[in-house]
Chain A
């Protein structure tokens, strides 16, 4: 019984520690990585394993220690998994846009080590740069 408890404790603590650590690493990456596109990779950790770990820890905790089901915490992850990519995508678009409209913000070079994005194909460009073609699957809600 106690063994099981301590086992539960270990599991819960582990999840919490992992989660917190990854959240910190994500944010740290956002501080130290060179330019916006690299920094953008930070949050995904905080979102996924960071918060994920925390939530699993929480679910385990409420189930094993408090004896209550707390599966609803999963919904938090569900929503974050839907929304986080959107944020990242939009921020990336902003970056692409700024690469074009103001190539250098006050002298520092935003292009970054990855260089400029490649042209997808001779007959089309990236949606951020040119209007979506009506026939393209990306042309949702264009009317």
Chain B
């Protein structure tokens, strides 16, 4: 088990989950999928600097080897942007639901989600 394998496989799993969820029919699931997807993307971008243990890119006397700081800066920027985009997507899908009464995104509109029975997503899966 190398770190590289762990990260790569984790990215793969996140991407798979992200794709699957973003292909669901309701905005919430889609947003969820995007969240997973962007986790994966951030990790991927981070990985472009390769993996370094215990070499944080903060200058220290006598230390010459540092983790590649550039991808970290890029990922930081990417995280911020992703956050902004996700926030907008969430609010927009909420707003669209409030306006149209449907949070479907699969084209076949079924308005009237209001008449739904309560459901506390608490217990284990039925």
Contact = CB atoms under 8 A, between A and B. Distances in A.
Find out whether A and B make contact in their complex, taking CB atoms under 8 A apart as touching. yes
A4 interface: no
Interface size class of A (residues with CB under 8 A): under 10
Interface majority SS on A: helix, strand, loop or mixed? mixed
Interface residues of B, number: 5
Contact of A102 (B122, B124, B126): B122
A102 B120 CA distance: 10
Contacts of B117: none
Interface majority SS on B: helix, strand, loop or mixed? loop
A106 B126 CA distance: 9
Nearest to B126: A106
B123 interface: yes
A75 interface: no
A119 interface: no
Contacts, number: 9
A101 B119 CA distance: 12
A106 B120 contact: no
A105 B122 CA distance: 8
A142 B45 CA distance: 47
A102 B126 CA distance: 15
A89 interface: no
Interface in B59-73: none
A61 to B, nearest CB: 16
Nearest to A104: B123
Nearest to B123: A105
6 contacts: A98-B122, A101-B120, A102-B120, A102-B122, A106-B124, A106-B126
Given A106-B123, A106-B124, 7 more contacts: A98-B122, A101-B120, A102-B120, A102-B122, A105-B122, A105-B123, A106-B126
